[in-house]
A and B are shown apart, each in its own frame.
Chain A
Amino acid sequence: MPASALACALAVAVSFAPPAAAGAEAEVAPATPKSAATQAASGEARQTPQEPRTPGSLTECRRLALADRLAATDCYRGLLAAPALDIRAEAAWALGDLRVAARAFRAAIEAAPDDADIRVRFADMRFAAHLAADAEAGYLEALAIDPAHAGAKLGLARIAMSRFEGRAQELANEVLEAQPDNADARLLLAELALEFGDTPRAEQWLAHGLGHPDERVRLRAMALAAACDHLRGIAPSPWEARALASHPGNGALFETVARFYIITRRYREAVALLERAVATDPALWSAHATLGLNLLRLDRFDDGRAALTRAHNGFPYNPQVVNTLRLLDGMAEWPVRAEADVTLRIAPEESEALGPYVRRLVADAVRVIGARYGFTPSGPVVVELFGRHADFAVRTSGLPGIGILGATFGDVVVMDSPSARGVDEGFDWASALWHEVAHVVTLGATDNRVSRWFSEGVSVLEEWQTGPSRFQVPPAPVELGAGADLAPDEPASAGANEPPRGPAAPPSVIKAYRDGRLLPVAKLDEGFIRPSYAGQVGVSYTQAGLLCEHIVATRGHRAVAAMLDEYRAGKDTADAIRGALGVEPETLDAEFANHLAGRFAGIDIAAFDDAMGRARAAYEAQNWPGAAAAAEEAIAAQPHRVDQNSPYPLLAQAENRLGRRDQAIAALTTYWQAGGRGEAALSRLAEWQEAAGRAEDALAARAMLALISPMSPAHRGVLGDRLFAVGRAADALVEYRAHFALGPHDAATAHYRLAKANHALDHTDLARRHLLAALEIAPRFPEALTLLLEMAK
């Protein structure tokens, strides 16, 4: 999924020490001191949106900062000895000395504990220094003193905005109710409107700021007005020239516009603007940081590192920069395997085990999904896999703690690897990779203009219909194999009166539907970007998938391709629906409601839960007939449920205990075909199929086990043996290489397997080398000695 909208800014607790200095005391000096002249009113930590009680001298310094930075520096220096502690703090902050500023703010608060304004300014500084949690506490302290404090509310709103929380708008509206002319509240609401792509509304909010007497407000409003133009395809915006005419060094203008390109995943445009931002204002460290992070999203590692290094040298407090630089240090040794259609970056210890699977999955996904929607990436898809979730999170957002599993930046896919979490933790990595490659297609087909919900919906649909864990319980609505060639087709529904079949929706989605909490299509993006209830993001994913399922079922894949064309032409969701589907969004909502009424008809979650409870109790009591009967009831209450609460594995176990192995196999087969990927269940299925002489079915199950749990030496080795036994030595060799790379306990066998596969493929030197290695460990290894004699013939 595109990460920009999910890059939750959860600042790490670094206080005012450079983040690289582990264990540093609070509020120590930066590791790389810089001159006050370069710090004055520049770069990071200089946001001053709310300026209560600004004395004339401070106002003058701020005015100078817009026109003459050196003069501003002298001005601020003059205030460092001001009688008012909070003025000293403001001056030190403006000069970039956060330690002194923090000390002065603390002293000011101690001297005037009931002064909410000082607390708010201190919190503003902390938020600008990426200490959101501390800032939040400060704003709340101010509100405890003055419950109507506008600055505190707007501070909390900005924090909420940075975390993509829905209450940002609510807080800004509260301020406006009390102070209808509050410029900061209006600008914040304009930003929020722009985040949703609502440019008309943003312009309404900006009108006030564009005519504001405060020059600083006007400049911010002009930057947002320029962003409006860019989002509407007017680039360059006339507002740029106007803003630069009065302040030629206003790099923040381009930084602001770039932010909205990032949100809409148009990283090339964002990078171009950020490059202008730092060229215009070389000391704009926040722009250097954002530039670096977004160059990485374009796979420009060297340039990205250089920009991040500049950002760090200028402002060492940004945890995103520090974390990312550390990550890049760690990735320096990663092998980069570049081929025509796929470039892989995988940690050396995982590369052999994952590389072949990733290449195959990406190539298949590009071919299958690209054919459906008429788009093929012009260059290779770049895939980076991270064995530690925290590394993936840093690569995605610069910060640990995000909940997503994968992200796509144009042609660059970054994901958790299967080492980060297992399939039994709900992470079906192969399906997730398929999902991300679908994003590559929808983003590429629309020049990154596709709406969030539609891109997610298509990706979810492709997971269900063509991915490695696709739903294929016969009769399926679409009988396709991963890797099958698919073209835009006719509606795929089995019939007008037959509800489309597909994977079971999670109970949370069915509940949201029945509670009337699903969003109308025109607002579905909000469910991803600013969820209003717990779990809404997950619900929105499935809703988007179901909506795309409905579009395909009623109009065919051509309709999805047509939607992509509309987005590429710059249409918003409502117009894209009108243009591609020929209906109003409200009509589509009504159709969708009917679709769900059919899809969810007869599903009884309470009955399911009740039956599962009885099934488990019966199983524990070794009442196998009772367990089987209750599991069947659960299946009737909600068919094809394959999550961790699935009844199929339990039914299979009960049937097996009853001596009905065929029924047991059938239950697990349905589970598998419906997308069930529990490792234990599939292992059992493979074993039972092998015992039943169904070698071909068992081989398929073993191949799936190796795919979903590719870091298991046992699965890889056994699959290799089965493939070798049926004469597929080349495929076996892939598995044996993975098995060996995973460092199995039994090294002699690992070498022997590689020897026999290489021997079968006439790779004589490799065969000999591995065979001698096996026998060096275990000289009396019977099979290896036999092979040695055979090779010596």
Chain B
Amino acid sequence: MAERPTVLWRAGRVPLALALAVGAAAGASAEQSHMLVVAGLGGEPAYVDAFRRAAAAAAERGRAFGAKVTVLADESAGRDGIRRAIADIADSAREADSVVAHFIGHGSYDGEHYRFNVPGPDPTAADLAAWLEPLPRKRLVILTTSAAGAGLDALLTGTGAVITATRDGRETNAVVFHRFWTEALQARSADVNKDQRISAEEAFQHTASAVAAHYERAGRIATEHPRLEGAAAPFTVAVLGPARPQPPADDPAVARLVERSETLTRRIDELKAARKSLAMEDYFAQLQELLLELAVVERDLKRSRDGADGQPPPSGGGP
């Protein structure tokens, strides 16, 4: 897939129009997403296979939205390989870029140090944190291993967010987190705000819920309790549909639609915030009015993107 600026936003919080405007007007400074996916040492064939598959799925979903993806597995996933890969990303990334570093496999905790199990000497959480330090600050670390919770504090320093498969270092059983994370990356139900993108926060919530249900269904005491620290919403980990249209510089009508859509969603957010001060009927009447207009705008934007209905580009969506 052609590498194009990838806009990351926290749904409903970061103005899309502003982000798109930055992407359109200043392509040179647009944000690039980088992704490092490491499949650690599996040991048993079943784990080797499972870790490889989880890594491949995460990488595939990353490439689908234009992330620059590096995958390490088998011998390349040793201590030096990981350090070099991170250094390579640090060399190529700019400060505005975002990075997702995803470690899948087994981990261990000796009461003092968390270690990610790889061929050869295992890196500790402190090692990983030190290697990640040169990367842009907008970075997310996903530690999908047993005992991962023991590495959270070290990795959180200077990092936007950290996700771990376990609550702490005492949860040492092999985890199922990666299985449900992979599911989340392609589940429409994970896209809670239906913006066609799955943020790391959405994927985490979906996965955590599925992990809990897994143990409950199996009638077993849960031996892993996933954790998320920091703000994971700005990080996209998968997309479900086509990207929202970039407003072409020579098409002011579409640009107006995009802007109007953003205005409407912002007004909806404001209305939701004021909900308690409004009578229920008033609230829903106003909400419906805004949503109806948004529906028209979104329909017109879709037509402009699809161009399938032969309709002329819309002239605008609102006052």
A pairs with B: yes
Chain A residues near B (Cβ < 8 Å): 421-422, 424-425, 744-749, 768-769, 772, 775-782, 784-786, 788-789, 792
Chain B residues 214 to 230 lying within 8 A of chain A, measured CB to CB, are 217-219
Q: Are B265 and A746 in contact (CB under 8 A)?
A: no
Chain A residue with minimal CB distance to B217?
A422
Q: Are A779 and B292 in contact (CB under 8 A)?
A: no
Interface residue B48 (Cβ < 8 Å from any Cβ of A): no
Interface residue B193 (Cβ < 8 Å from any Cβ of A): yes
Given contacts A772-B288, A775-B291, A785-B299, contact A747 B219 (CB under 8 A): no
Q: Are A779 and B291 in contact (CB under 8 A)?
A: yes
A-B contact list, 6 entries, CB within 8 Å: A746-B190, A749-B194, A779-B264, A781-B193, A785-B299, A789-B296
Q: Are A778 and B287 in contact (CB under 8 A)?
A: no
Interface residue B295 (Cβ < 8 Å from any Cβ of A): yes
Residues of A close to B12: CB separation below 8 A: 779
Extra inter-chain contacts (17) besides given A746-B188, A772-B284, CB under 8 Å: A424-B218, A745-B190, A745-B205, A745-B209, A748-B192, A768-B288, A772-B291, A778-B192, A778-B194, A779-B264, A780-B195, A780-B294, A782-B196, A785-B299, A786-B295, A789-B295, A792-B295
Q: Are B217 and A778 in contact (CB under 8 A)?
A: no
How near does chain A come to B171, taking the closest CB pair, in angstroms? Answer: 22
Q: Are B272 and A789 in contact (CB under 8 A)?
A: no
Interface residue B139 (Cβ < 8 Å from any Cβ of A): no
How near does chain B come to A177, taking the closest CB pair, in angstroms? Answer: 48
Q: Are A789 and B292 in contact (CB under 8 A)?
A: yes
Q: Are A782 and B288 in contact (CB under 8 A)?
A: no
What sequence of 0s and 1s flags, for each residue 58-94 of chain B, a beta carbon within 8 Å of any chain A beta carbon?
Answer: 0000000000000000000000000000000000000
Residues of A close to B241: CB separation below 8 A: 782
How near does chain B come to A789, taking the closest CB pair, in angstroms? Answer: 5
Residues of A close to B265: CB separation below 8 A: 779-780
What sequence of 0s and 1s flags, for each residue 178-203 of chain B, a beta carbon within 8 Å of any chain A beta carbon?
Answer: 00000000001111111110000000
Residues of A close to B217: CB separation below 8 A: 422, 424
Interface residue B298 (Cβ < 8 Å from any Cβ of A): yes
Residues of A close to B294: CB separation below 8 A: 779-780, 785
| Separation of A421 and B216 alpha carbons in the complex (Å) | 10
| Separation of A424 and B189 alpha carbons in the complex (Å) | 25
How near does chain B come to A423, taking the closest CB pair, in angstroms? Answer: 10
| Separation of A422 and B214 alpha carbons in the complex (Å) | 12
Q: Are B295 and A777 in contact (CB under 8 A)?
A: no
Chain A residue with minimal CB distance to B207?
A745
Residues of A close to B206: CB separation below 8 A: 745
Interface residue B268 (Cβ < 8 Å from any Cβ of A): yes
Q: Are A422 and B291 in contact (CB under 8 A)?
A: no
Chain A residue with minimal CB distance to B269?
A779
Residues of B close to A786: CB separation below 8 A: 295, 299
Q: Are B189 and A749 in contact (CB under 8 A)?
A: yes
Greatest chain A CB density within 10 A among B193, B265, B291, B298 is at: B291
Q: Are B195 and A778 in contact (CB under 8 A)?
A: yes
| Separation of A763 and B206 alpha carbons in the complex (Å) | 31
| Separation of A781 and B191 alpha carbons in the complex (Å) | 10
Q: Are B219 and A425 in contact (CB under 8 A)?
A: yes
Chain B residue with minimal CB distance to A788?
B295
| Separation of A758 and B257 alpha carbons in the complex (Å) | 31
Residues of A close to B219: CB separation below 8 A: 421-422, 425
How near does chain A come to B311, taking the closest CB pair, in angstroms? Answer: 15
Residues of B close to A421: CB separation below 8 A: 219
How near does chain B come to A240, taking the closest CB pair, in angstroms? Answer: 51
Residues of A close to B292: CB separation below 8 A: 788-789, 792
Q: Are B194 and A776 in contact (CB under 8 A)?
A: no
Residues of A close to B191: CB separation below 8 A: 746
Chain B residue with minimal CB distance to A790?
B295
Q: Are B190 and A748 in contact (CB under 8 A)?
A: no
| Separation of A201 and B194 alpha carbons in the complex (Å) | 75
Q: Are A748 and B287 in contact (CB under 8 A)?
A: no
Residues of B close to A745: CB separation below 8 A: 189-190, 192, 205-206, 209
Q: Are B205 and A779 in contact (CB under 8 A)?
A: no
Q: Are B284 and A746 in contact (CB under 8 A)?
A: no
Residues of B close to A784: CB separation below 8 A: 194
Residues of B close to A788: CB separation below 8 A: 288, 291-292, 295
What sequence of 0s and 1s flags, for each residue 277-299 of chain B, a beta carbon within 8 Å of any chain A beta carbon?
Answer: 00000001001100110111011
| Those 7 A-B pairs whose CB atoms lie nearest each other, nearest first | A781-B194, A778-B194, A746-B189, A785-B295, A778-B193, A745-B209, A789-B295
Residues of A close to B272: CB separation below 8 A: 776
Given contacts A422-B217, A780-B298, A785-B298, contact A748 B284 (CB under 8 A): no
Residues of A close to B189: CB separation below 8 A: 744-746, 749
Residues of B close to A775: CB separation below 8 A: 287, 291
| Separation of A782 and B300 alpha carbons in the complex (Å) | 12
How near does chain A come to B13, taking the closest CB pair, in angstroms? Answer: 13
Given contacts A424-B217, A775-B291, A788-B291, contact A782 B192 (CB under 8 A): no
How near does chain A come to B256, taking the closest CB pair, in angstroms? Answer: 17
| Separation of A782 and B218 alpha carbons in the complex (Å) | 36
Q: Are B268 and A779 in contact (CB under 8 A)?
A: yes
How near does chain A come to B193, taking the closest CB pair, in angstroms? Answer: 4
Q: Are B188 and A749 in contact (CB under 8 A)?
A: yes
| Separation of A425 and B272 alpha carbons in the complex (Å) | 44
How near does chain A come to B255, taking the closest CB pair, in angstroms? Answer: 18
How near does chain A come to B12, taking the closest CB pair, in angstroms? Answer: 7
Partner of B299, one of A747, A749, A789: A789
Residues of A close to B205: CB separation below 8 A: 745
How near does chain A come to B189, taking the closest CB pair, in angstroms? Answer: 4
Chain B residue with minimal CB distance to A709?
B217
How near does chain A come to B314, taking the closest CB pair, in angstroms? Answer: 14
Chain B residue with minimal CB distance to A775?
B291
Chain A residue with minimal CB distance to B12?
A779
Q: Are A777 and B298 in contact (CB under 8 A)?
A: no
| Separation of A788 and B268 alpha carbons in the complex (Å) | 16
Residues of B close to A785: CB separation below 8 A: 291, 294-295, 298-299
| Separation of A768 and B281 alpha carbons in the complex (Å) | 12
Chain B residue with minimal CB distance to A789?
B295
Greatest chain B CB density within 10 A among A772, A781, A786 is at: A781
Chain A residue with minimal CB distance to B213?
A712
Residues of B close to A748: CB separation below 8 A: 192-194
Chain A residue with minimal CB distance to B267?
A779
Residues of A close to B299: CB separation below 8 A: 785-786, 789
Residues of B close to A781: CB separation below 8 A: 193-194
Q: Are B193 and A776 in contact (CB under 8 A)?
A: no
| Separation of A779 and B290 alpha carbons in the complex (Å) | 10
How near does chain B come to A3, taking the closest CB pair, in angstroms? Answer: 24
Chain A residue with minimal CB distance to B261?
A780
Q: Are A782 and B194 in contact (CB under 8 A)?
A: yes
Residues of A close to B188: CB separation below 8 A: 746, 749
How near does chain A come to B157, taking the closest CB pair, in angstroms? Answer: 31
Partner of A772, one of B190, B218, B264, B287: B287
Greatest chain B CB density within 10 A among A745, A748, A780 is at: A780
Residues of B close to A749: CB separation below 8 A: 188-189, 194
How near does chain B come to A424, taking the closest CB pair, in angstroms? Answer: 7
| Separation of A124 and B283 alpha carbons in the complex (Å) | 70
Given contacts A422-B217, A788-B292, contact A777 B193 (CB under 8 A): yes
Q: Are A777 and B192 in contact (CB under 8 A)?
A: yes
Residues of A close to B288: CB separation below 8 A: 768, 772, 788
Residues of B close to A422: CB separation below 8 A: 217, 219
| Separation of A775 and B291 alpha carbons in the complex (Å) | 8
How near does chain A come to B49, taking the closest CB pair, in angstroms? Answer: 11
Chain B residue with minimal CB distance to A743?
B209
Q: Are B209 and A780 in contact (CB under 8 A)?
A: no
